[in-house]
Amino acid sequence: MFLTDLPAAARALARGLTTSRALVEAALRRYEETQPTLHAFAWLDADRALRLADDADRSSAARGQIGPLHGVPIGVKDIVDVAGLPAERGSAVFAGRVAERDAALVANLQHAGAIVLGKTITAELAYYHPGPTTNPHDASRTPGGSSMGSAAAVAAGIVPAAVGTQTNGSIIRPAAYCGITGLKPSHDRVPVDGVFPFAPTLDHPGALARTVEGCAWLLAAMCAEPLTDWWAPSDAVPRFAALRTSEWEDAEHAMRARFQADVDRIATLGGPVEWPDPPDGLDDGPAILQTIMAYESARTVALAIAGHEAQVSAVALELFARGAAVPERDYRAALAQRDRLIAEYTRWVAPYDAILTPPAVGEAPSRETTGSPRFCSRWTLLGAPAVTIPTGRGPHGLPLGLQLVGAPGDDRRVIVAAAWVEARIGWRAESVP
């Protein structure tokens, strides 16, 4: 279907095989079918979306395609500003807030021709407290957080791609839970101006789509860069390292079995897989991230909600209180540890195209939580590019996947490796309830 795959939708529009209005009308029909139980969107105006689609079709007829995403509907996480649209950040504190200008990445997307169909639900303040979104495969389960609406909207076939953000595990985890592809690029790869800051050292805007290629297309547009900077598929066999990390015993049995099966299949299909010892200090990464995230959020988000603490969840307030108690010297020490670890990891990972590791503890848990980000934390700390692809289902019929991680700054290399894996062992849910 054109709608559910971003590159296919964009190519179909460019070739005159469909129209933007047709894509938006299909998106709106799917929205109407799913929104009562899925709750993927915080805001959506059908008349506005159709008007933008008609404008795109008219301009295409007059001048041809304006950009690579010309006329394609997408979702944007509700911590990312779109001028004139609500931006309430999943919190009662910001109820009624309307963005005055576009975030830089949104301006880039619109310059590429994309249509913002609507604003997708975020967990409260892009942290742990769940929003109303449900998992498209099972409404009693979480879609993950905090980019929950973006992941669910893509998985449910409403939009072919959506913008997410990750400060710990908020792109990779919901993508894994919803059975789609998530791509967290290297830190500072995507502009953050106009994105609600949580922990600036750790904040990463990124992409959710049906395929690795779809994520690459969206990110190229978000950065106003040529697609070739992100997407250059190759038949060359990548070289992989597999890591279980210190969280291995926390993974559910089904996730451990899925991971081992995926690694074995990759090796059988010709992708060399080594099991090296991890670089020194890698397992300290999650604790270092927690120190940095707590300290920075206490000086960004906590200030933004000052005076409105009664409207904020206990789990968020606990983080801000913990961060306020972190001495600056401990924060500076954590930053220095991170820098040393990045240097050590960058040397260690150089021989490999990608590291194979689980993306999550297991299948999506119940909606009372957004799930644990523990299999993402160290990679977010490092600012390393990470991709998750779905590779199968667990015992409850819910998606399980595989995470591939690269060297900081070497996004295209890990994307190429992920596309190689996706083409050979990837699994796609063509439809969801």
CA distances from 146 to 3, 114, 122 (A): 24, 23, 5
Listed in sequence order, the DSSP H helices in 223-313 are: 253-268, 285-297, 301-304
Which among 60, 146, 186, 297 is annotated as catalytic? 146
Backbone dihedral angles phi then psi of residue 390, each to the nearest 5 degrees: -75, 140
- Cα distances (Å, whole numbers) of residue 229 to 47, 163, 223, 266, 346: 35, 19, 10, 26, 20
Active-site residue flag, 119: no
Active site residue 150: no
Cα gap 24→51, rounded to integer Å: 10
d(CA 270, CA 417): 13
Beta carbons within 10 angstroms of residue 275's beta carbon: 11
What is the rounded distance in angstroms from the CA atom of residue 311 to the CA atom of residue 301?
Answer: 13
Note if 431 is an active site residue.
no
How many residues appear in the chain? 433
Going by C-beta distance under 8 Å and a sequence separation of 6 or more, which residues neighbour residue 83? 99, 100, 101, 102, 106
Q: What is the DSSP string of 253-275?
A: HHHHHHHHHHHHHHHHTT--EE-
Q: Which of 170, 297, 372, 377 is catalytic?
A: 170
- Among residues 77, 119, 184, 377, the one annotated as catalytic is 77
- Angle between helical axes of 6-14 and 212-222 (0-180°, round to 10): 70
Residue type, 81: D
Where residue 371 falls (left for φ over 0; alpha for ψ -120 to 50; beta otherwise) is: left
- The C-alpha atoms of residue 265 and residue 307 are separated, in whole angstroms, by 54
User: Which amino acids are annotated catalytic?
Assistant: 77, 146, 170
